[in-house]
Amino acid sequence: MKRAALALVAAVAFAALAFGVREFLHVSSRTAAVLTPTMNVHKEFSGALGPRLYRALHSQPVVAPGDRSRLVALTFDDGPYPVFTPLLLDRLADLHVPATFFLIGRDAEQWPDLARRIEAAGNEIGDHTYSHPDLDREAPALVRNEILRGRDVLWALTHDPSVDWMMRPPHGRYNEETLRVAQSLGYHVILWTDDSGDWRTVPPARIVAHVEHFATRPDIVLLHSGKLATIEALPAIVEAFRAAGYRFVTVQQLLREVGAGAVNHPVHRSL
């Protein structure tokens, strides 16, 4: 009887340990969705044990007062593109939803009228580099050049001040040096709290289901400009967020209202 009790205690202790290790690995693997120029890159993004322990100990959600945390920023990477970008802008206008577009400088040079139309419609524009390379494979000098060249092109076309302080690395690829270069230029690196998966070839219903399931308060949703399925999914996405009491904002508005802390430590709750 005593041996059985000891075995039970050992089994429970082992299960608790296994759960704790699994939870630590899960929580500590999360990295910041927004990197400000003053944040510690190593603590927020390194896979080493020390930084992972730091993130695990600082993973509690930051709840904004009242309903201010029920904010969602739809962000669209790449482009602008003929056909897809006009369709996307028309859909956003019909839904009365502002968005943040991270544009590629080279594509904006090719389609300048579309870049200007994005801003004229009341949307925000951020820097997605000039030629869309994998920045984690580039030397710091080339990372710097890609960011600044993209900024200069977008500023010349749109005069949106956000291109001077918001950037997103192409493909979400970066390393610590990449992020430090962006910080040295005064940039906020804007990632996301939910990757919708629309960069794959998936039907609209799957995009909607993913966004609903992985919603956070507040939320930055990663979407892409050149996908018809994304455009088709937007009405259902907007309806679901609004039914849950969310308000649609740009990234700049989101950071102004709740700050980077609430974005980096959001409340995870499906719609």
* Burial (Cβ within 10 Å: 0-12, 13-18, ≥19) of residue 225: buried
Ramachandran angles phi, psi of 256, nearest 5°: -65, -40
Structural contact between residues 187 and 245, judged by C-beta atoms closer than 8 angstroms = no
Is the backbone of residue 186 left (phi > 0), alpha (psi -120 to 50) or beta? left
* Burial (Cβ within 10 Å: 0-12, 13-18, ≥19) of residue 242: middle
Catalytic residue, candidates 77, 127, 160, 219: 77
Coil, helix or strand at residue 220: strand
* Burial (Cβ within 10 Å: 0-12, 13-18, ≥19) of residue 261: middle
Active site residue 224: yes
Q: Which two tokens stand for residue 266?
A: 């959001």
Catalytic residue, candidates 136, 224, 265, 268: 224
Distance CA 6, CA 12 (A): 10
CA 109 to chain centre: 25
Residues with a catalytic annotation lie at 77, 224
